[in-house]
Amino acid sequence: FDGLGLLVTEGFRHIIEIARQSVPDGYGNSFFWVKPKRLVPLHLVREIPGRMTFKGEEITPLDEAAVVRAVEALSDKGVRCIGVCLMHGYANDAHERRVGEIIAKHFPDLFVSLSSVVLPEYREYERAMTTLIDVMVKPYCQRYLTRAAEKVSSKGIGPSLLIMQSNGGVVSDKAAAARPVTMLLSGPAAGVLGATHMAELAGFEDILTLDVGGTSTDVSLTEKLVPNLTSHSLVENYPVKTPMLDIATIGTGGGSLAWVDDYGGLKVGPQSSGADPGPICYGRGGRQPAVTDAAVVLG
Protein backbone atom coordinates (compact mmCIF):
# COMPACT_ATOMS: atom_id res chain seq x y z
CA PHE A 1 0.00 0.00 0.00
CA ASP A 2 1.51 3.31 -1.09
CA GLY A 3 1.60 6.23 1.30
CA LEU A 4 1.66 4.23 4.56
CA GLY A 5 4.20 4.83 7.34
CA LEU A 6 4.79 3.64 10.90
CA LEU A 7 6.21 5.30 14.03
CA VAL A 8 7.60 2.99 16.72
CA THR A 9 9.63 3.20 19.91
CA GLU A 10 13.38 3.54 19.43
CA GLY A 11 14.93 0.10 19.11
CA PHE A 12 11.76 -1.59 17.82
CA ARG A 13 11.93 -0.76 14.13
CA HIS A 14 11.59 -4.40 13.07
CA ILE A 15 8.27 -5.21 14.78
CA ILE A 16 6.41 -6.04 11.58
CA GLU A 17 9.49 -7.53 9.92
CA ILE A 18 9.95 -10.13 12.65
CA ALA A 19 6.19 -10.70 13.03
CA ARG A 20 5.44 -14.10 14.61
CA GLN A 21 7.26 -17.43 14.44
CA SER A 22 4.04 -19.37 13.91
CA VAL A 23 3.47 -20.88 10.47
CA PRO A 24 0.00 -21.48 8.96
CA ASP A 25 -0.88 -25.21 8.80
CA GLY A 26 1.91 -26.11 11.21
CA TYR A 27 5.68 -26.15 11.04
CA GLY A 28 5.62 -28.86 8.37
CA ASN A 29 4.74 -26.03 6.01
CA SER A 30 7.70 -23.89 7.09
CA PHE A 31 9.80 -24.84 4.05
CA PHE A 32 7.21 -23.47 1.64
CA TRP A 33 5.44 -20.70 3.51
CA VAL A 34 6.51 -17.14 2.76
CA LYS A 35 5.61 -14.28 5.07
CA PRO A 36 3.10 -11.88 3.51
CA LYS A 37 4.44 -8.69 2.00
CA ARG A 38 4.99 -6.11 4.72
CA LEU A 39 2.36 -3.39 4.80
CA VAL A 40 5.13 -0.87 5.45
CA PRO A 41 8.64 -1.25 3.99
CA LEU A 42 11.45 -0.85 6.50
CA HIS A 43 12.55 2.54 5.15
CA LEU A 44 9.12 3.95 6.03
CA VAL A 45 9.31 2.82 9.66
CA ARG A 46 10.77 5.52 11.93
CA GLU A 47 11.90 5.23 15.53
CA ILE A 48 10.95 7.72 18.23
CA PRO A 49 12.98 8.12 21.47
CA GLY A 50 10.77 7.72 24.54
CA ARG A 51 9.80 4.70 26.60
CA MET A 52 7.10 3.45 28.93
CA THR A 53 7.26 0.35 31.12
CA PHE A 54 4.61 -2.34 31.01
CA LYS A 55 3.18 -0.75 34.15
CA GLY A 56 2.74 2.57 32.35
CA GLU A 57 5.65 4.33 34.04
CA GLU A 58 7.73 6.72 31.94
CA ILE A 59 11.43 5.84 31.95
CA THR A 60 12.48 7.91 28.91
CA PRO A 61 10.70 11.19 28.02
CA LEU A 62 9.25 11.54 24.55
CA ASP A 63 11.57 13.41 22.16
CA GLU A 64 9.07 15.75 20.53
CA ALA A 65 11.62 17.26 18.14
CA ALA A 66 12.40 13.74 16.91
CA VAL A 67 8.70 13.19 16.25
CA VAL A 68 8.59 16.24 13.98
CA ARG A 69 11.73 15.14 12.13
CA ALA A 70 10.46 11.60 11.66
CA VAL A 71 7.06 12.64 10.36
CA GLU A 72 8.62 15.26 8.10
CA ALA A 73 10.92 12.61 6.62
CA LEU A 74 7.98 10.28 6.02
CA SER A 75 5.92 13.06 4.49
CA ASP A 76 8.77 13.89 2.11
CA LYS A 77 8.70 10.26 0.95
CA GLY A 78 5.03 10.48 0.05
CA VAL A 79 3.53 9.04 3.23
CA ARG A 80 -0.01 10.28 3.88
CA CYS A 81 -1.21 7.75 6.45
CA ILE A 82 0.74 7.09 9.66
CA GLY A 83 0.25 4.41 12.27
CA VAL A 84 1.68 5.04 15.74
CA CYS A 85 2.56 2.00 17.86
CA LEU A 86 4.78 2.75 20.85
CA MET A 87 5.87 0.18 23.41
CA HIS A 88 3.32 -0.32 26.18
CA GLY A 89 1.05 2.39 24.81
CA TYR A 90 -1.85 0.32 26.12
CA ALA A 91 -0.63 0.87 29.71
CA ASN A 92 -0.03 4.61 29.32
CA ASP A 93 -1.12 6.41 26.18
CA ALA A 94 0.47 9.78 27.05
CA HIS A 95 3.29 9.46 24.51
CA GLU A 96 1.02 8.28 21.71
CA ARG A 97 -1.52 11.01 22.39
CA ARG A 98 1.25 13.60 22.30
CA VAL A 99 2.55 12.22 19.00
CA GLY A 100 -0.96 12.53 17.60
CA GLU A 101 -1.19 16.13 18.79
CA ILE A 102 2.17 17.00 17.22
CA ILE A 103 1.18 15.49 13.88
CA ALA A 104 -2.19 17.28 13.94
CA LYS A 105 -0.43 20.60 14.62
CA HIS A 106 2.46 20.39 12.16
CA PHE A 107 1.02 18.04 9.51
CA PRO A 108 -2.76 18.55 9.54
CA ASP A 109 -3.27 16.90 6.14
CA LEU A 110 -1.96 13.51 7.28
CA PHE A 111 -4.17 10.69 8.51
CA VAL A 112 -3.15 9.17 11.85
CA SER A 113 -4.20 6.15 13.90
CA LEU A 114 -2.92 5.55 17.44
CA SER A 115 -2.58 1.97 18.65
CA SER A 116 -3.73 3.05 22.11
CA VAL A 117 -7.06 4.02 20.54
CA VAL A 118 -7.39 1.26 17.95
CA LEU A 119 -6.27 -1.65 20.14
CA PRO A 120 -5.23 -0.79 23.72
CA GLU A 121 -3.90 -4.29 24.44
CA TYR A 122 -0.50 -5.89 24.80
CA ARG A 123 1.29 -7.77 21.96
CA GLU A 124 3.01 -5.17 19.83
CA TYR A 125 2.88 -7.00 16.49
CA GLU A 126 -0.88 -7.50 16.43
CA ARG A 127 -1.40 -3.99 17.78
CA ALA A 128 0.83 -2.50 15.08
CA MET A 129 -0.82 -4.46 12.26
CA THR A 130 -4.35 -3.63 13.37
CA THR A 131 -3.39 0.04 13.67
CA LEU A 132 -1.83 0.07 10.20
CA ILE A 133 -4.90 -1.52 8.61
CA ASP A 134 -7.07 1.02 10.42
CA VAL A 135 -5.17 4.04 9.10
CA MET A 136 -4.74 2.48 5.66
CA VAL A 137 -8.48 2.51 5.00
CA LYS A 138 -9.24 5.66 6.98
CA PRO A 139 -9.03 8.17 4.07
CA TYR A 140 -11.48 6.16 1.96
CA CYS A 141 -13.90 5.45 4.80
CA GLN A 142 -13.97 9.04 6.00
CA ARG A 143 -14.68 10.40 2.53
CA TYR A 144 -17.35 7.80 1.83
CA LEU A 145 -19.10 8.14 5.18
CA THR A 146 -19.02 11.94 5.02
CA ARG A 147 -20.75 11.86 1.63
CA ALA A 148 -23.22 9.21 2.79
CA ALA A 149 -24.14 11.20 5.91
CA GLU A 150 -24.63 14.36 3.86
CA LYS A 151 -26.84 12.48 1.40
CA VAL A 152 -28.97 10.95 4.15
CA SER A 153 -29.31 14.32 5.87
CA SER A 154 -30.32 16.06 2.63
CA LYS A 155 -33.10 13.51 2.15
CA GLY A 156 -34.38 14.03 5.67
CA ILE A 157 -34.03 10.34 6.49
CA GLY A 158 -33.95 9.65 10.23
CA PRO A 159 -32.07 11.50 12.96
CA SER A 160 -28.68 9.96 12.16
CA LEU A 161 -26.78 7.48 10.02
CA LEU A 162 -25.83 4.23 11.78
CA ILE A 163 -23.03 2.01 10.49
CA MET A 164 -22.77 -1.75 10.96
CA GLN A 165 -19.71 -3.06 12.82
CA SER A 166 -17.91 -6.38 12.47
CA ASN A 167 -19.14 -7.34 15.96
CA GLY A 168 -22.79 -7.07 14.89
CA GLY A 169 -23.48 -3.73 16.56
CA VAL A 170 -23.95 -0.28 15.07
CA VAL A 171 -22.32 3.09 15.71
CA SER A 172 -22.65 6.60 14.34
CA ASP A 173 -20.95 7.48 11.06
CA LYS A 174 -18.45 9.68 12.92
CA ALA A 175 -17.48 6.86 15.30
CA ALA A 176 -17.11 4.45 12.40
CA ALA A 177 -14.91 6.88 10.47
CA ALA A 178 -12.67 7.33 13.52
CA ARG A 179 -12.00 3.56 13.79
CA PRO A 180 -12.71 2.04 10.38
CA VAL A 181 -10.95 -1.24 11.19
CA THR A 182 -14.09 -2.18 13.14
CA MET A 183 -15.99 -2.33 9.83
CA LEU A 184 -13.75 -4.87 8.06
CA LEU A 185 -16.31 -7.69 8.15
CA SER A 186 -19.39 -5.57 8.77
CA GLY A 187 -21.15 -6.74 5.60
CA PRO A 188 -20.86 -10.45 6.41
CA ALA A 189 -21.80 -9.66 10.03
CA ALA A 190 -25.05 -8.10 8.84
CA GLY A 191 -25.73 -11.23 6.80
CA VAL A 192 -25.29 -13.44 9.88
CA LEU A 193 -27.66 -11.27 11.92
CA GLY A 194 -30.25 -11.34 9.17
CA ALA A 195 -30.01 -15.11 8.83
CA THR A 196 -30.27 -15.53 12.61
CA HIS A 197 -33.44 -13.45 12.67
CA MET A 198 -34.97 -15.51 9.87
CA ALA A 199 -33.99 -18.71 11.70
CA GLU A 200 -35.77 -17.48 14.83
CA LEU A 201 -38.93 -16.79 12.83
CA ALA A 202 -38.71 -20.29 11.34
CA GLY A 203 -38.23 -21.93 14.74
CA PHE A 204 -34.54 -22.85 14.49
CA GLU A 205 -31.95 -22.05 17.17
CA ASP A 206 -28.74 -23.57 15.77
CA ILE A 207 -27.83 -22.69 12.20
CA LEU A 208 -24.90 -22.60 9.81
CA THR A 209 -25.05 -19.49 7.63
CA LEU A 210 -23.73 -19.39 4.07
CA ASP A 211 -23.41 -15.99 2.43
CA VAL A 212 -22.24 -16.21 -1.19
CA GLY A 213 -21.37 -12.90 -2.79
CA GLY A 214 -19.70 -12.00 -6.04
CA THR A 215 -16.11 -12.52 -4.94
CA SER A 216 -16.27 -14.28 -1.57
CA THR A 217 -18.20 -16.81 0.49
CA ASP A 218 -18.76 -16.32 4.21
CA VAL A 219 -19.66 -19.12 6.63
CA SER A 220 -20.60 -18.73 10.29
CA LEU A 221 -22.08 -20.78 13.12
CA THR A 222 -24.93 -19.52 15.32
CA GLU A 223 -25.84 -21.46 18.46
CA LYS A 224 -28.97 -20.82 20.52
CA LEU A 225 -29.65 -17.81 18.27
CA VAL A 226 -26.39 -16.18 19.42
CA PRO A 227 -23.67 -15.74 16.76
CA ASN A 228 -20.19 -16.72 17.89
CA LEU A 229 -17.72 -13.92 18.56
CA THR A 230 -13.95 -13.75 18.17
CA SER A 231 -11.28 -11.11 18.63
CA HIS A 232 -8.73 -12.60 16.21
CA SER A 233 -8.90 -12.76 12.45
CA LEU A 234 -6.70 -12.84 9.36
CA VAL A 235 -7.26 -10.51 6.42
CA GLU A 236 -5.09 -11.56 3.48
CA ASN A 237 -2.78 -13.29 6.01
CA TYR A 238 -2.46 -10.08 8.05
CA PRO A 239 -3.55 -10.40 11.70
CA VAL A 240 -6.40 -8.17 12.81
CA LYS A 241 -7.41 -8.07 16.44
CA THR A 242 -10.79 -6.46 17.02
CA PRO A 243 -14.14 -7.85 18.24
CA MET A 244 -16.06 -9.43 15.37
CA LEU A 245 -18.47 -12.22 14.59
CA ASP A 246 -16.65 -15.50 13.98
CA ILE A 247 -16.92 -15.72 10.21
CA ALA A 248 -14.79 -17.89 7.91
CA THR A 249 -14.25 -16.24 4.53
CA ILE A 250 -12.86 -17.74 1.34
CA GLY A 251 -12.03 -15.82 -1.81
CA THR A 252 -14.53 -17.59 -4.06
CA GLY A 253 -17.97 -16.27 -4.94
CA GLY A 254 -20.59 -16.27 -7.64
CA GLY A 255 -18.36 -14.40 -10.06
CA SER A 256 -15.29 -16.62 -9.56
CA LEU A 257 -14.14 -18.15 -12.84
CA ALA A 258 -13.57 -21.85 -13.50
CA TRP A 259 -10.43 -22.86 -15.38
CA VAL A 260 -8.19 -25.85 -16.05
CA ASP A 261 -4.54 -25.79 -15.02
CA ASP A 262 -1.60 -27.20 -16.99
CA TYR A 263 -2.12 -30.63 -15.42
CA GLY A 264 -5.80 -30.88 -16.28
CA GLY A 265 -7.04 -30.00 -12.81
CA LEU A 266 -10.24 -27.99 -12.37
CA LYS A 267 -9.66 -24.71 -10.53
CA VAL A 268 -12.02 -21.99 -9.32
CA GLY A 269 -10.78 -18.42 -8.81
CA PRO A 270 -9.16 -16.23 -7.75
CA GLN A 271 -9.98 -14.63 -11.10
CA SER A 272 -13.47 -13.15 -11.20
CA SER A 273 -15.85 -12.08 -13.93
CA GLY A 274 -16.90 -9.07 -11.86
CA ALA A 275 -20.22 -7.35 -12.39
CA ASP A 276 -19.41 -6.41 -15.98
CA PRO A 277 -19.45 -8.50 -18.10
CA GLY A 278 -20.23 -10.91 -15.27
CA PRO A 279 -21.03 -14.63 -15.64
CA ILE A 280 -22.09 -15.95 -19.04
CA CYS A 281 -25.71 -16.25 -17.90
CA TYR A 282 -25.89 -12.48 -17.48
CA GLY A 283 -25.84 -12.15 -21.26
CA ARG A 284 -23.38 -9.26 -21.18
CA GLY A 285 -20.61 -10.82 -23.22
CA GLY A 286 -18.95 -13.00 -20.59
CA ARG A 287 -17.03 -15.88 -22.17
CA GLN A 288 -15.65 -17.84 -19.20
CA PRO A 289 -17.87 -19.97 -16.93
CA ALA A 290 -18.32 -18.74 -13.37
CA VAL A 291 -19.77 -20.32 -10.22
CA THR A 292 -23.11 -18.64 -10.98
CA ASP A 293 -23.20 -20.34 -14.40
CA ALA A 294 -22.67 -23.72 -12.73
CA ALA A 295 -25.60 -22.99 -10.40
CA VAL A 296 -27.81 -22.14 -13.39
CA VAL A 297 -26.86 -25.34 -15.22
CA LEU A 298 -27.49 -27.44 -12.12
CA GLY A 299 -30.89 -25.80 -11.65
Q: In the listed set 108, 143, 178, which residue is the last one of a domain according to the structure? A: 143
> Which three-class secondary structure state does DSSP give residue 200?
helix
User: Are 230 and 284 members of one domain?
Assistant: no
User: Are 111 and 234 members of one domain?
Assistant: no
Whether residue 179 is contained in a domain is answered as no
Whether residue 173 is contained in a domain is answered as no
User: Are 285 and 204 members of one domain?
Assistant: no
User: Are 200 and 237 members of one domain?
Assistant: yes
Whether residue 172 is contained in a domain is answered as no
Chain center to CA of 124: 17
User: Are 288 and 265 members of one domain?
Assistant: yes
User: Are 53 and 102 members of one domain?
Assistant: yes
User: Are 118 and 214 members of one domain?
Assistant: no
Q: What are phi and psi of 38, to 5 degrees?
A: -65, 135
Whether residue 45 is contained in a domain is answered as yes
User: Are 241 and 280 members of one domain?
Assistant: no
Residue 9: Cβ-neighbour burial (10 angstroms; 0-12, 13-18, 19+): buried
Residues facing residue 9 across a β-bridge: 48
Q: In the listed set 143, 160, 195, which residue is the last one of a domain according to the structure? A: 143
User: Are 26 and 110 members of one domain?
Assistant: yes
Which residue type does 67 have? V
262: containing domain = 256-298
Distance spanning both ends of the chain, measured CA to CA: 42
| pLDDT given for residue 27 in this prediction | 63
Residues facing residue 112 across a β-bridge: 82
What does the pLDDT profile of the chain (299 residues) look like in tens digits?
Answer: 779 999 999 999 999 888 887 776 666 666 777 777 889 999 999 999 999 999 999 999 999 999 999 999 999 999 999 999 999 999 999 999 999 999 999 999 999 999 999 999 999 999 999 999 999 999 999 999 999 998 888 888 877 889 999 999 999 999 999 999 999 889 999 999 999 999 999 999 999 999 988 888 899 999 999 999 998 887 777 888 999 999 988 878 889 999 998 999 998 888 888 877 888 988 888 888 999 999 999 98
User: Are 276 and 245 members of one domain?
Assistant: no
User: Are 83 and 113 members of one domain?
Assistant: yes
140 Cβ neighbours under 8 A, 6+ residues apart: none
User: Are 272 and 230 members of one domain?
Assistant: no
Angle (CA) 280-286-289 rounded to 5° is 50
Q: In the listed set 143, 176, 199, which residue is the last one of a domain according to the structure? A: 143
134 Cβ neighbours under 8 A, 6+ residues apart: 83, 113, 118, 179, 180, 181
Whether residue 22 is contained in a domain is answered as yes
Count of domains for the chain: 3
> Would you say the C-alpha torsion 239, 245, 250, 256 has a positive or negative sign?
negative
